[in-house]
Chains A and B, each alone.
Chain A
Amino acid sequence: MPFQIVVLWTDWLVYLLALVIACAVVYVRGREHLRAPWRRVVQSRSGMVGLTILALFVVTGFLDCLHFRPRLAATEQSTTARYSVEVLSVLDLALERIRTNREKTYSAPLATHLFSKETIERPDGTQVRDYPRLKYGGASLPDEEGAWTVSLLHAGVGGAACGTVIWLLLAALIAACIAQSGGTTLGRAWEQIWSGGSDVSWKAVLITALVFCVLGGIAVALAAEYHVLGTDKVGQDVLYQTLKSVRTALVIGTLTTLVMLPFALALGIAAGYFGGWVDDTIQYVYTTLNSIPGVLLIAAAVLMMQVYIDGHPELFPTAAQRADLRLLFLCIILGVTSWTGLCRLLRGETLKLKELEYIQAAHAFGVRHHRIISRHILPNVMYLVLISVVMEFSGLVLAEAVLSYVGVGVDPSMNSFGTMINNARLEMARDPMVWWSLAAAFTFMVTLVLAANLFADAVRDAFDPRIGMINPFAAKQRLKPIGKTA
């Protein structure tokens, strides 16, 4: 085989999460009462904008979760296959060009020359101090005025055109699907999308997709010639770093909740349902954990983990595995500090549910505890779980950046928004300023978190029974489908 598949710990959990989501989708599809709130989610314009952007991030992150070790070129001494110690991902393959094209040091976005002056030797033997040409950025560009602008325009227009074509194909595909399922013509389906008459807010999806197709097209076209977002101190492409950071952010945002969910569910429901000493014990545990400020508990735990990792180097064969285990541990410890909120909510809801007639009736019929919990209580608290999972996501992504700054976040060798911001801090003090790393991290992070917030709001508006009176906009949107179906 030309490669050896590597599945890191967090990869396993990501696959598990994908499986869980797939199962949930299949389960919800068949049940009308579960589909109803989701229908409200997909009708919400802001929610669908968020979901579309999130989907782009998720695809990037998922490609970065498929890891392997490439095979080394066979040497004469050895006949057995040997694999590189470097763990690559499918995303790395796709970004092969910008991953390997390293410059010497800083260069501005789309630059053709290095950021700092160096002594260059001219062909005639004399030496001058000037900004040297980049090894890869605009390397094929002739040394004349205006060539740079022309080349940029050329690539930009071409990329935008390609992006638009891809978007048109996508839009046609969606229209065809709608026409197929609705039994109408393609033209009618197209009208339906733009008049907002369909069940899903496709208009929002397509407009978002258009923006990202055009931007993506331009970026791809430019990346063939230039470093679109510049290079960092060691000359690595900043665009590559930001794309790699997406996985870290997503892993922290999702796996943390996946890890803490079983505990929060089990303990929260147990505390509310059984009451008495069980309730007292669980409340004591979460009050105690809660009373330690989160950052300090995380810092203490990560410091101790560092000591452990330093003491046991034999457990980690490659650097990627060590960084990965640290990431997983960070998820776990973030989960430990953040499960208490959900646990308290679940306890309160279970307390309320337990007094309802149908559960009292189930008791009277002699139904066992575990059956009452799994059949009557669990399905009725799931909306709380869902809301808190999506609401928690953006907070966790932001927390990662802060923790990495404090020095208790992900492994320094791992790409993440936090490490990028942390490095950018020193670059800001340079004169002239190196702003592009920070700007790139800022743009990507704000896009991700904003999308997550928009989607989370749509989910909360659709699922929370109290929201009608709190959010006038959500209430307005909710009235629409009822009027339509009547």
Chain B
Amino acid sequence: MIRYIIRRILYAIPILLGVNIITFALFFLVNTPDDMARMQLGAKRVTPDAIERWKQERGYDKPLIYNDKESGIGRIVQTVFFDKSLRMFAFEFGRADDGRDIAREIRMRMGPSLAVAVPAFFVGLLIYLTLGLGFAFFRATYVDFWGVVACVVAMSISSMFYIIGGQYVIGKLWNLVPVSGFSGGFDAWRFVVLPAAIGVLGSFGASTRLYRTFFLEEIGRDYVRTARAKGLSEVAILFRHVLKNAMIPILTGVVVAIPFLFIGGLITESFFGIPGLGSYTIDAINSQDFAVVRSMVFIGSLLYVAGLLLTDISYTLVDPRVRLS
């Protein structure tokens, strides 16, 4: 087990390196730092001096990949690629355009993101599983039919409509909770309830329908028929056999998402003004803060790789046939 995990972590290195190379190519090779400087400075203020100063402030004034002015290791180390891309492996993200340290900012913003995403994730999972199992129990009846219809309609509505509608009805019309904002401590629940509820609602349709499919697939199998022949009640079959066996396809989709709880919902956070990593990313995109976007890409892929590893480990927990080696 430990050896397997170590090997998987080693596998992650080439993937993260690949991600780094892609972002590097995207940010520095498609457009040179000069282009970026010109864009950020605006047409009026572009002078060669201003561009040089802009590059120097951000550390883009070094050669991109290979520095032939240095000697020894410096030829590789004194470059933009090393500074901006390889250093991310040590979680050194540098500074954002407003001068703040990105790594510190990320640590601070994790909390609010988690506060919204974690309840939404677990409450949602519970609701989707219950409903999916319920539809499977009432399969091929009107309950199931209209349930699926509701799911299809729900998944046809953009998540932004849920957010705007929820903010309007609950926040503005009924005045139950504040429309947006955040505060630390225990008081935070008032700000968390609405975004979390809308997060649950947003993926209700697609998830419930997917889980129903997984359950129905299991219900068609031979062991279920055997269980029925033994005289087990339908409820016992559903909970004892079907739910357990359907866990594998469900876990594949669910566990991979757990690390992303750190980032939180991009759109939800920015709509509700929650100072988490999601809104940090959106703000960075809007203000064209390349350093922050680059860091978030790296963090995102790191979390994805972690999610894959967690998925594999979770398989061993629910399925004794799976052995990691």
The distance in angstroms between the C-alpha atoms of A401 and B274, with both chains bound, is: 21
Q: How far is the CB of A68 from chain B (nearest CB, A)?
A: 33
* B126 at interface, CB cutoff 8 A: no
Is B140 a contact of A311 with CB atoms below 8 Å? no
Q: How far is the CB of A308 from chain B (nearest CB, A)?
A: 6
Please provide the chain B residues from 1 to 50 with a CB less than 8 Å away from any CB of chain A in the complex. Answer: 14-16, 18-19, 22-23, 26-27, 30-31, 35-36, 38-39
* A445 at interface, CB cutoff 8 A: yes
Is A438 a contact of B164 with CB atoms below 8 Å? yes
Is A291 a contact of B38 with CB atoms below 8 Å? no
Which of A417, A457, A472 has the largest count of B CB atoms less than 10 A from its CB? A472
* B314 at interface, CB cutoff 8 A: no
* B325 at interface, CB cutoff 8 A: no
Query: B174-195 toward A: CB 8 Å interface, digit per residue (1/0)?
Result: 0000000000000000000000
Is A469 a contact of B158 with CB atoms below 8 Å? no
Is A296 a contact of B164 with CB atoms below 8 Å? no
Please provide the chain A residues from 373 to 410 with a CB less than 8 Å away from any CB of chain B in the complex. Answer: 394, 398, 401-402, 405-408
In the complex, chain A residues whose CB is within 8 Å of the CB of B157: 442, 446, 449
Segment at the interface with A among B54-62, B63-71, B107-115, B290-298: B290-298
Is A445 a contact of B158 with CB atoms below 8 Å? yes
Of B140, B156, B220, which contacts A453 at CB under 8 A? B156
In the complex, chain A residues whose CB is within 8 Å of the CB of B288: 303, 306
Is B216 a contact of A471 with CB atoms below 8 Å? yes
The distance in angstroms between the C-alpha atoms of A445 and B160, with both chains bound, is: 12
Is A402 a contact of B304 with CB atoms below 8 Å? no
Is A290 a contact of B304 with CB atoms below 8 Å? yes
Is B35 a contact of A453 with CB atoms below 8 Å? no
Please provide the chain B residues from 136 to 162 with a CB less than 8 Å away from any CB of chain A in the complex. Answer: 139-140, 144-145, 152-153, 155-161
Please provide the chain A residues from 282 to 298 with a CB less than 8 Å away from any CB of chain B in the complex. Answer: 284-285, 287-293, 295-297
Which single residue of chain B is at the shortest CB-CB distance from A454?
Answer: B152
In the complex, chain B residues whose CB is within 8 Å of the CB of A425: 164
Which single residue of chain A is at the shortest CB-CB distance from B18?
Answer: A288
Of B14, B31, B144, B164, which contacts A304 at CB under 8 A? B31
* B285 at interface, CB cutoff 8 A: yes
* A36 at interface, CB cutoff 8 A: no
Is B164 a contact of A428 with CB atoms below 8 Å? yes
The distance in angstroms between the C-alpha atoms of A446 and B157, with both chains bound, is: 6
In the complex, chain A residues whose CB is within 8 Å of the CB of B152: 450, 453-454, 457
Is B297 a contact of A296 with CB atoms below 8 Å? yes
In the complex, chain A residues whose CB is within 8 Å of the CB of B301: 288, 291-293
Is A288 a contact of B158 with CB atoms below 8 Å? no
Please provide the chain A residues from 451 to 482 with a CB less than 8 Å away from any CB of chain B in the complex. Answer: 453-454, 457, 466, 469-473, 476
The contact size tier of chain B is: 35 or more
* B267 at interface, CB cutoff 8 A: yes
In the complex, chain A residues whose CB is within 8 Å of the CB of B159: 398, 402
In the complex, chain B residues whose CB is within 8 Å of the CB of A445: 158
Count residues of chain A with CB under 8 A from any CB of chain B. Answer: 51
Known: A293-B301, A469-B220. A401 touches B160 (CB 8 A): yes
* A28 at interface, CB cutoff 8 A: no
The distance in angstroms between the C-alpha atoms of A287 and B168, with both chains bound, is: 40
The distance in angstroms between the C-alpha atoms of A128 and B286, with both chains bound, is: 43
Please provide the chain B residues from 261 to 311 with a CB less than 8 Å away from any CB of chain A in the complex. Answer: 263, 266-267, 281-282, 285-286, 288, 290, 293-294, 296-297, 300-301, 304-305
Known: A284-B14, A290-B304, A297-B297. A470 touches B213 (CB 8 A): yes
In the complex, chain B residues whose CB is within 8 Å of the CB of A287: 15
* A7 at interface, CB cutoff 8 A: no
Which single residue of chain A is at the shortest CB-CB distance from B144?
Answer: A472
Which of B139, B167, B296 has the largest count of A CB atoms less than 10 A from its CB? B296
Of A289, A301, A428, which contacts B168 at CB under 8 A? A428
The distance in angstroms between the C-alpha atoms of A406 and B285, with both chains bound, is: 8
Which single residue of chain B is at the shortest CB-CB distance from A312?
Answer: B35
* B260 at interface, CB cutoff 8 A: yes
Known: A288-B18, A304-B27. A311 touches B39 (CB 8 A): yes
Please provide the chain A residues from 271 to 287 with a CB less than 8 Å away from any CB of chain B in the complex. Answer: 284-285, 287
Is A301 a contact of B26 with CB atoms below 8 Å? yes
Of B16, B213, B290, which contacts A303 at CB under 8 A? B290
Is B158 a contact of A401 with CB atoms below 8 Å? yes
* B217 at interface, CB cutoff 8 A: yes
In the complex, chain B residues whose CB is within 8 Å of the CB of A402: 158-160, 267
* A150 at interface, CB cutoff 8 A: no
In the complex, chain A residues whose CB is within 8 Å of the CB of B297: 292-293, 296-297, 300
The distance in angstroms between the C-alpha atoms of A421 and B162, with both chains bound, is: 12
* A307 at interface, CB cutoff 8 A: yes
Which single residue of chain A is at the shortest CB-CB distance from B179?
Answer: A429
The distance in angstroms between the C-alpha atoms of A450 and B159, with both chains bound, is: 14
Is A304 a contact of B26 with CB atoms below 8 Å? yes
Is A424 a contact of B164 with CB atoms below 8 Å? yes
Which of B18, B26, B156, B285 has the largest count of A CB atoms less than 10 A from its CB? B156
Known: A293-B300, A398-B158. A408 touches B220 (CB 8 A): no
* A310 at interface, CB cutoff 8 A: yes
In the complex, chain B residues whose CB is within 8 Å of the CB of A407: 285-286
Is A300 a contact of B26 with CB atoms below 8 Å? yes
Is B293 a contact of A292 with CB atoms below 8 Å? no
Is B39 a contact of A307 with CB atoms below 8 Å? yes
* A299 at interface, CB cutoff 8 A: yes
Q: How far is the CB of B169 from chain A (nearest CB, A)?
A: 11
Is B139 a contact of A472 with CB atoms below 8 Å? yes
The distance in angstroms between the C-alpha atoms of A280 and B156, with both chains bound, is: 37
Is B156 a contact of A446 with CB atoms below 8 Å? yes
Is A300 a contact of B293 with CB atoms below 8 Å? yes
Is B304 a contact of A291 with CB atoms below 8 Å? yes
Which single residue of chain A is at the shortest CB-CB distance from B284?
Answer: A299
A-B pairs with beta carbons under 8 Å apart, 19 shown? A284-B15, A291-B15, A291-B300, A291-B305, A296-B296, A299-B285, A303-B290, A304-B27, A306-B288, A310-B38, A311-B39, A401-B160, A406-B286, A417-B158, A421-B158, A421-B160, A442-B161, A449-B156, A473-B140
A-binding residues in B (CB < 8 A) = 14-16, 18-19, 22-23, 26-27, 30-31, 35-36, 38-39, 139-140, 144-145, 152-153, 155-161, 164, 167-168, 213, 216-217, 220, 260, 263, 266-267, 281-282, 285-286, 288, 290, 293-294, 296-297, 300-301, 304-305
